[in-house]
Structure 1
Amino acid sequence: MKKNICKPLFVTIVLSLYAHHIALAQIQYELNSGWRCKNIDEVKEDGIALSQASYKIQDWLPATVPGTVLTTLLNNKRIPDPLYGMNNEKIPDIYTTGREKYTYWFVTDFVESSSAPGDQVWLHLRGVNYSCDIFLNGKKLNPSTHKGMFLRQSYNITSHLSANGNNRIAVIVYPPDPVGNPNGGQGGDGMIAKNVSHQYVAGWDWIQPIRDRNTGIWDKVFIEKTKAINLKNPHIVTKVSGKRLPEGKQEPATLKVTTELENPTAKSVNGIASYTWEGTTISQKVTVAPFSTTTVALPDYTIKNPRLWWPNGYGEQHLYTLKLQFLINGKTVSDEENISVGVREIQTKWNNETRSRQVMVNGQRIFIKGGNWIISDAMLRFTDARYDAEIRFHRDMNLNLIRIWGGALIERPEFYSACDKYGLLVMQDFWMSGDCNGRWTDPKKTEDQWTRRKYPDDHALFLTSAIDQIKMIRNHASLGMWCGGNEITPPEDILTPLRDSIIPELDGTRWFVEYSNSDSMSFNSIGGNGDGPYGIQPIESFWDKQTFPFNSEVGSVGIGDYESLERFIPAENMVAPKHPSKVDPVWDYHKYIGYDQYINPYGEPKSVKDFAVKAQLVNYDQYRALIEGFSSHMWEWYTGTIIWKTQNPWTAMRGQMYDYYLDPNACLYGLRHGSEPLHVMYSPTDGMVMIANNTVKAYQDLMLVIKTYDMNGKDSLLSQVFVGIEPTISKKYLALKGMLNSLRKDKGVFLSLQLLDLNKQILSENFYWLPDNNGMHTGLNQMKAAKIQAEAKWLAEGKIELKLSNFSESPVAFFNRISLIDPKSKKRLLPVFYSDNYISITPGSQKTIYLEYHPENDKATPLISISGWNVEEHLTEISK
């Protein structure tokens, strides 16, 4: 029976509402320029004086807001770039200097007035680290000092605005207290965790300490104008019943909408709360009492034939725009919000075979292929463009989840918008880490485990901050699950309300796991900490050594290539590390972890450039094997894995698919190939050719083509057979081990695997370079040079097609790096998105690669650089 959503007097569907009211769209703008700052020791006046326009600030330092004290000092060239070389050692650390060194006043002017009766003006601060007092036009706004890095602040400033519209804000920002001793431990001495803030700033095994602990107005500051009623913290929920497919007509879905309505005035306000969905408006009459905030639940709406949102690899990421409004007396728009909504439902269930949690979206099980994320930039320099680029890289790696590690923060709405766009589910940790919060004994820590287990000092502030941050991001389709902390639960009096009341009441649609390697997520029947292994592994181990069934952290190396290293290592320190322990101090400072004996099969490095080239071969093999090994046992051993880690917010030399400067290395493309939605692969342990199908589609009449190529380019067809595979499984097909052992015996061999459809289009391909039977790549070092032809043309602004061909009489053109470069400097343009890279081209074949970037107006037409293992670098012009 069709649900009747019409209720007399109170509820109505308004189809022509906008023809009968005075429209006043919400006005909001960011205060992100004109700020100035000064150290507290240099300022004698108080906030009352500083926030008055008569006080002169022309000699104050231009400040970066949003930003930190260190960011402002760097932008004013008061400190060297802490990401380069050993420069970070030249910056005074707050633990040594005292907190006053990084305690600063921030001041800015803006023009705003209450232009009409009933106008309300609001000041919103989305994040200050760590505590602050705020003054406007000679008045203090916050009655008591604000504390907490993550807790948003909102002030009605209507009565404080100046009559002439010229206003001044003054904010004094105090660092965390305590700041922690950066003594080399994970989170230093652990004391930073006594605050409700991020923990990595005191140093970790992938970063050096951030000297000001990221003190500052680090997130956005907004001015908002409304009428009498302010819409706050809307909550949008979609219900998608049953087991859905990405294609075809859909059964209906249900839309549920609630919102807070704040009335700061002395009078009751009558009006209509409404939301508009695809041209239909659902509304409800509401009366909001004076000086109050009420939550209103609007009538549910049935979405017919919805366009669903799917994780990357399973379907499209359809997004709708929902317009939420409050109309005073049903006529005048008091406030409105436009909210991006993905229609989907996330469920989980226990998988008895793997003994781990299984994630489902729209009724379909999703094999989780994830990456651990720290933060976009260690100094909190966030931009929409950088978020978009980083999440796009994760999409391009064919991942479907990002986990936000608990020593950082609740990621920003702009991060989540990018995940919505590219289909990355998010597992969001709260602010706990086993290292600082007492899971283990640790001589580096100041206080014992019993004391650290009670961190942070202010549990009420933690819960208040959690409530606020849940409200901030809960509408994003990509948000998939909440996690109490990294490798440890919060203290019981935080955990219990968070799990049992706060998340059920404020969200109620997502899985909450108590900590990142909890038995409720992944039963730890093997022992140990429940995650890992870390560091470089024999590639066979990813296939044949069973680890934790939903592994929250498993990782390896990730050094960039030579050009990446040049960006942050001084020339005199460009010295290749030698196994096992001879490492340059700058490399060590940037957290290099050894490639050990895994470089040597390619020949001992002759230079740092040679080392970096060979490291890319190892990178590609490591991450392809990692994700293939897990995929080969999906639903048998595993329901998912999350790589530690896929990015670095600092110039570290480990666990990254692209460097801090957004330059991808071979890890990204090895992972991209290994985690294709439909993927053909070779097991190095039993020699089986397998197919992993990480889609909800069954495939029949796939042609499986298996070839080898020797070092001279001569090919041998081993098999060509039609196969099929059901949805979301992996399956074994052919055994090759004996055959390949004979072919690879002396010099090694190349193995080519392809899946083709009936139109002979390649749906998946994989290209392995197998060592000789002694585990050495002797043949690679004896290969003759290959010459390839390259043709490039513009498809559109910022979009390029590159065709690469290898001659039929040539050897394999092996492991070619493609780079889009500036024609003058010959340096790479960043970021650039390549449909593939580090590619090999077999004799007589052609590959087409697509490049995409955002050209700058003042840049000359770029060139394309191509160079490989046995291909000399050459430059290709792009034709129109």
Structure 2
Amino acid sequence: MASFRSRLALLLAVLCALTLTPATVAAGSAATGDSEGLVMPKAMGEGSTVTGWHIRSSAELAAGGARISQPDFGNSGWYPVAPRSTIVAGLVQNGHYPNLFHSTNMRDQVDRADFAVPWWYRTEFRAAGPERNTFLRIPGAVSRADVWLNGTPLGGVVGTYNAGEFDIGPLLRPGRNALAIRVHPSDPDRDFAISWLDWAQPAPDNNMGIWRDVRLVRTGPVTLLGSYVHTDLELPGMDSARLVAHAEVRNNSTWARNVVLRGRIGPHRLRKEVRLGAGETRTVAFPGVTVREPRVWWPAQLGEQPLYRLDLTAWTGYRLSDRDRTTFGVREVDSRLNESGDRQFLVNGKELQIRSAGWASDLLLRSRPERLRAQLGYVRDLGLNAIRLEGKLETPEFYEIADRTGIMLLTGWECCDKWEPWTSWGGEEWTAEDYPIARDSMAAQARVLRSHPSVIAFLIGSDIAPPEDVQRMYLAELEEAGWPNPVIPAAASRNAPEPLGPSGLKMEGPYDWVPPNYWYGNRFGAAFGFAGELSAGHSVPTVDSLRRMLSPEEREKLWRDPAAQQFHTGRGTPPFDNLELFSTALAQRYGAPTGLADYAEKAQLANYENTRAQFEAYARRMTAPRPATGLVYWMLNNAWPSLNWHLYDYYLNPGGAYFGAKKGNEALHVQYSYDDRSVVVVDRGSDPARGLAVRAEVYDLDGTLVHRSERHGVSVDSLDVTEVLTLPELSGLSDTYFVRLDLSRDGRELSRNTYWLSTRPDVPDWDESSWYHTPVSQYADLSGLGELPDAAIEVRARTGHAGTTVTLRNTSETIAPAVRATLRKPDGSRVLPVTWSDNYVSLWPGESVTLRASYQPRDAGGRPTVEVGGLNAVPTRG
């Protein structure tokens, strides 16, 4: 009898899928103005992305939504755009604004008044006719949208992250149907929009539009709105895990229904029968299942990132009504305040330091999955284990890539605008209308994020925690959505009321230049506690990127007049609208620049030493009396070509800051301490390291060996630090000198690290600190680097399918610090994106090193050429 029922159910499901599949028409060419897109779902339980969109300004149209959404209105004179496209992104796509990001083009070539009026989105599609339980889902709009279908208003969507759903089944017509969406102007101070704060010049339209997929979904009388799995991992042995699956189910009918829910996680089958009242939505928990020897998800550097899948179906009688699929990872995340009151994260029972950086989406919110993959590949290559997303909550691909690469995500809302009106610099105070928008935005994003193992927390505030009523509102929505992760009130410690109380994070700067030894201090952003955002400020790109982003006049101002305002520095407002602090320190420490190339070369060294010092200081104090439990480097990347805050530039070009951070975040790493001259070994991997040998050497500028210390039989535990030795105070050194460190096991090199230092140290003036900067009363003297004789570097390169291997050999009699290798295409441009095993390497006379560059062959445009240069390295190609 059971076998007969199973066969009958399968037959009915197939018939259901066949009879409910509407006729479809292939998508037309957007270039020709055809508007019919393949948008209707093909089968029960499936969804389709709405395509074939066109945009046009309301200032150019006399008609309203009732007319524009008629199938016979047409798209003549409209711009065809991608399914995810803000208004300006669509205009750029159509060539309306060529080279928008170069120089001041975004200011001079765009009339922002064009975006002070609403704009329209329009598309057409075919359907078989009215169909029950067909839903239009819009995942948010910047700043708000009104929706029409076939002349009928459906309602509105308000807020970037506030999803809306409309039952459009009764309105569908046989043949052509038309959908029109009117989006309204965006003001981050008044709307729940996206603000670029002081990160970048704002997009001309303030990102007005639809930037995530609009979808059409067909189901039966019962809809699966989502699903998730709570995992309870047995600790510390991790021999088993208890999995509890949940399904959010809605009865679309006007009468009660019996529903059978079936699920599967690998070999484990799930079943649950429920009765839903008319129009009822309920979250249903399945009986838990136990997985023996689970495949555990780990952050990068600590293990693998296996994913499980939950497959769900909902049945009414013997008819398939809907299906849903969710991937998840088996892992445990906890967060608590330690004895010092600092935030500490634990993953799978292990206390670990969060090494992260601040994320910036593309300024026009353009969705480019390949670019996202490249950037998260950079994050892993940098040795970071996390990213903070302050209000830029990205598209679904971002989270999927993070899941697969082991990059943890600290998600949350942004500061200083409508999302945080309780600050002195915030937007307008919330009205009665605003609370449900913020509440529903939280509910929608919790459902997007909750199943991703990469997501480890949500920060409901940024610079200041929300008041009690807003906290409780957000917490209620997170609980309703089955949120499994810690909730943190803010990325700062200021004003953290109940119920969440203190955040355990600090946000005391700096954001502009400070010397490398700043990070070893005991105040403000120095290495202790958990820093929600901080860095030494400006990161000057290489000359290639400077030429792409700046005009000749702007490039001259950059090195000749550092106090001059630059359009590509933040928002163009003080204190981050110029490079005066950075450039003054650069000239004082390395010597006055002689031209743009010299300025950029010295800037790479300055960025290298500072990012390395920041991550190394936090690493050394990982187990200090007041541990350094985490930091968010400000920032990882830029929304557009910028001179501010990045580890790699907008063109995905890694420079000195990148390789300094990469060096400082090695999984097994030997490093020097600026404060007490100690040499320590850091193990960020999953296993302890034994039988290590450490050699520390001090050299004069002319290459004379002044001191050598060695230690053998060194051990360091996983996620721990071991102090190995301390270099003595040495007299008679040259003003600029080198410290060289080597870590090895059985003669095999594991880590090498070179520092250029001064007998005249930087002296931070802590008492004169501001929220973004600590001045110095004395600069280090590194000008000797500019006096080094030219170094000849021999280059041998071999290119294969997996990339290019480069061997560099110093054939001169002088030290060559920070020798950089660059891959160039046949046309002379750089091969990007690219990851190097190492770069900006120091070579002693006669020494050689082999580097490996990995990239996609399609990005090389042919066989690449290797270019070598550096502060005193004679430019060479090989």
Q: Same fold (TM over 0.5)?
A: yes
Would you say 1:399 and 2:360 are equivalent positions? Answer: no
> Which of 536, 544, 555 is the equivalent residue of 2:535?
555
Match of 1:6 in 2: none
- The 2-side partners of 1:81 and 1:808 are apart by 43
CA displacement at 1:346 relative to structure 2 = 0.3
The AA in structure 2 aligned to 1:297 is A
Write out aligned runs for 1:769-848 (5 A). Answer: 769-773=756-760, 775-796=780-801, 799-807=802-810, 810-824=813-827, 826-848=828-850
Q: Find the residue that maps to 1:738 and give its secondary structure.
A: coil
Match of 1:849 in 2: 851
- The 1-side partners of 2:282 and 2:782 are apart by 70
Match of 1:214 in 2: 207
- The 3 A distance-change label for structure 1 pair 211 and 857 is closer
- The 2-side partners of 1:333 and 1:716 are apart by 79
Match of 2:400 in 1: 417
Would you say 1:533 and 2:510 are equivalent positions? Answer: yes
State whether residues 523 and 549 of structure 1, in contact with CA within 8 Å, keep that contact through their aligned partners in structure 2.
no
> Which of 375, 378, 382 is the equivalent residue of 1:390?
375
> Which of 568, 571, 574 is the equivalent residue of 2:549?
568
Deviation string for 1:683-729 (max 9, x for gaps)? 12211111223344322211112234554556577123221123333
Match of 2:89 in 1: 71
CA displacement at 1:333 relative to structure 2 = 4.3
State whether residues 344 and 362 of structure 1, in contact with CA within 8 Å, keep that contact through their aligned partners in structure 2.
yes
Q: Find the residue that maps to 1:633 and give its secondary structure.
A: helix
- The 1-side partners of 2:266 and 2:307 are apart by 12
Write out aligned runs for 1:71-90 (5 A). Answer: 71-79=89-97, 81-90=99-108
Match of 1:514 in 2: 489
Match of 1:139 in 2: 152
Q: Find the residue that maps to 1:108 and give its secondary structure.
A: strand
- The 3 A distance-change label for structure 1 pair 18 and 301 is farther
The AA in structure 1 aligned to 2:470 is I
State whether residues 772 and 778 of structure 1, in contact with CA within 8 Å, keep that contact through their aligned partners in structure 2.
no
State whether residues 709 and 727 of structure 2, in contact with CA within 8 Å, keep that contact through their aligned partners in structure 1.
no
Deviation string for 1:575-607 (max 9, x for gaps)? 154698542644667634331223433221011
- The 3 A distance-change label for structure 1 pair 26 and 813 is farther
CA displacement at 1:454 relative to structure 2 = 4.4
Match of 1:199 in 2: 195
State whether residues 194 and 456 of structure 1, in contact with CA within 8 Å, keep that contact through their aligned partners in structure 2.
no
Would you say 1:652 and 2:642 are equivalent positions? Answer: yes
- The 2-side partners of 1:679 and 1:857 are apart by 31
State whether residues 40 and 104 of structure 1, in contact with CA within 8 Å, keep that contact through their aligned partners in structure 2.
yes
Match of 1:363 in 2: 349
Match of 2:22 in 1: none
State whether residues 432 and 484 of structure 1, in contact with CA within 8 Å, keep that contact through their aligned partners in structure 2.
no
State whether residues 576 and 608 of structure 1, in contact with CA within 8 Å, keep that contact through their aligned partners in structure 2.
no
- The 3 A distance-change label for structure 1 pair 676 and 544 is same
- The 1-side partners of 2:863 and 2:320 are apart by 49
CA displacement at 1:356 relative to structure 2 = 0.7
Would you say 1:156 and 2:156 are equivalent positions? Answer: no
Deviation string for 1:272-297 (max 9, x for gaps)? 32222223322223444454333211
State whether residues 307 and 327 of structure 2, in contact with CA within 8 Å, keep that contact through their aligned partners in structure 1.
yes
Q: TM-score, structure 2 length as denominator?
A: 0.86
The AA in structure 2 aligned to 1:688 is S
Would you say 1:128 and 2:141 are equivalent positions? Answer: yes
- The 1-side partners of 2:368 and 2:644 are apart by 24
> Which of 436, 442, 455 is the equivalent residue of 1:466?
442
Deviation string for 1:273-325 (max 9, x for gaps)? 22222233222234444543332111212111111111222222222233222
> Which of 854, 859, 862 is the equivalent residue of 2:861?
859
Match of 1:483 in 2: 459
- The 1-side partners of 2:284 and 2:735 are apart by 72
CA displacement at 1:654 relative to structure 2 = 1.1
- The 2-side partners of 1:428 and 1:309 are apart by 19
State whether residues 522 and 551 of structure 1, in contact with CA within 8 Å, keep that contact through their aligned partners in structure 2.
no
CA displacement at 1:493 relative to structure 2 = 2.4
Match of 2:689 in 1: 699
RMSD of equivalent CA atoms: 3.2
- The 2-side partners of 1:325 and 1:842 are apart by 65
Match of 1:314 in 2: 302
State whether residues 607 and 660 of structure 2, in contact with CA within 8 Å, keep that contact through their aligned partners in structure 1.
yes
CA displacement at 1:471 relative to structure 2 = 1.1
Q: Find the residue that maps to 1:856 and give its secondary structure.
A: helix
Deviation string for 1:2-38 (max 9, x for gaps)? xxxxxxx9xxxx9999899648674333224x32222
Q: Find the residue that maps to 2:556 and give its secondary structure.
A: coil
- The 3 A distance-change label for structure 1 pair 522 and 415 is farther
CA displacement at 1:807 relative to structure 2 = 4.6
- The 1-side partners of 2:183 and 2:214 are apart by 14
- The 2-side partners of 1:229 and 1:198 are apart by 35
**Structure 2 alignment gaps of length 5 or more:** 18-42, 762-779
Moved more, 254-263 or 105-114: 105-114
- The 1-side partners of 2:226 and 2:248 are apart by 6
Would you say 1:99 and 2:116 are equivalent positions? Answer: yes
- The 2-side partners of 1:98 and 1:18 are apart by 53
The AA in structure 1 aligned to 2:350 is Q
- Count the aligned residue pairs: 811
- The 1-side partners of 2:212 and 2:417 are apart by 27
The AA in structure 1 aligned to 2:515 is P
State whether residues 200 and 640 of structure 2, in contact with CA within 8 Å, keep that contact through their aligned partners in structure 1.
yes
- The 3 A distance-change label for structure 1 pair 584 and 221 is same
Match of 2:631 in 1: 641
Q: Find the residue that maps to 1:130 and give its secondary structure.
A: strand
The AA in structure 1 aligned to 2:849 is K
- The 2-side partners of 1:195 and 1:783 are apart by 56
Q: Find the residue that maps to 2:858 and give its secondary structure.
A: coil
- The 2-side partners of 1:17 and 1:599 are apart by 78
- The 1-side partners of 2:486 and 2:752 are apart by 36
- The 1-side partners of 2:9 and 2:235 are apart by 35
Match of 1:345 in 2: 332
State whether residues 87 and 209 of structure 2, in contact with CA within 8 Å, keep that contact through their aligned partners in structure 1.
yes
- The 3 A distance-change label for structure 1 pair 817 and 28 is farther
Match of 1:718 in 2: 708
State whether residues 433 and 488 of structure 1, in contact with CA within 8 Å, keep that contact through their aligned partners in structure 2.
no
Match of 1:239 in 2: 232
Match of 1:187 in 2: none
- The 1-side partners of 2:69 and 2:686 are apart by 60
State whether residues 577 and 584 of structure 1, in contact with CA within 8 Å, keep that contact through their aligned partners in structure 2.
no
The AA in structure 1 aligned to 2:172 is L
- The 2-side partners of 1:60 and 1:426 are apart by 39
State whether residues 534 and 632 of structure 2, in contact with CA within 8 Å, keep that contact through their aligned partners in structure 1.
yes
Match of 1:223 in 2: 216
Among all aligned residue pairs of Structure 1 and Structure 2, give the percentage whose two residues are the same amino acid.
Answer: 25
State whether residues 415 and 461 of structure 2, in contact with CA within 8 Å, keep that contact through their aligned partners in structure 1.
yes
The AA in structure 1 aligned to 2:451 is N
CA displacement at 1:772 relative to structure 2 = 4.9
The AA in structure 2 aligned to 1:301 is V
> Which of 564, 571, 577 is the equivalent residue of 1:583?
564
CA displacement at 1:736 relative to structure 2 = 0.8
Match of 1:624 in 2: 612
Q: TM-score, structure 1 length as denominator?
A: 0.85
- The 2-side partners of 1:462 and 1:222 are apart by 22
CA displacement at 1:773 relative to structure 2 = 4.6
> Which of 467, 474, 482 is the equivalent residue of 1:498?
474
Q: Find the residue that maps to 1:343 and give its secondary structure.
A: coil
The AA in structure 2 aligned to 1:416 is Y
- The 2-side partners of 1:738 and 1:633 are apart by 22
The AA in structure 2 aligned to 1:763 is L
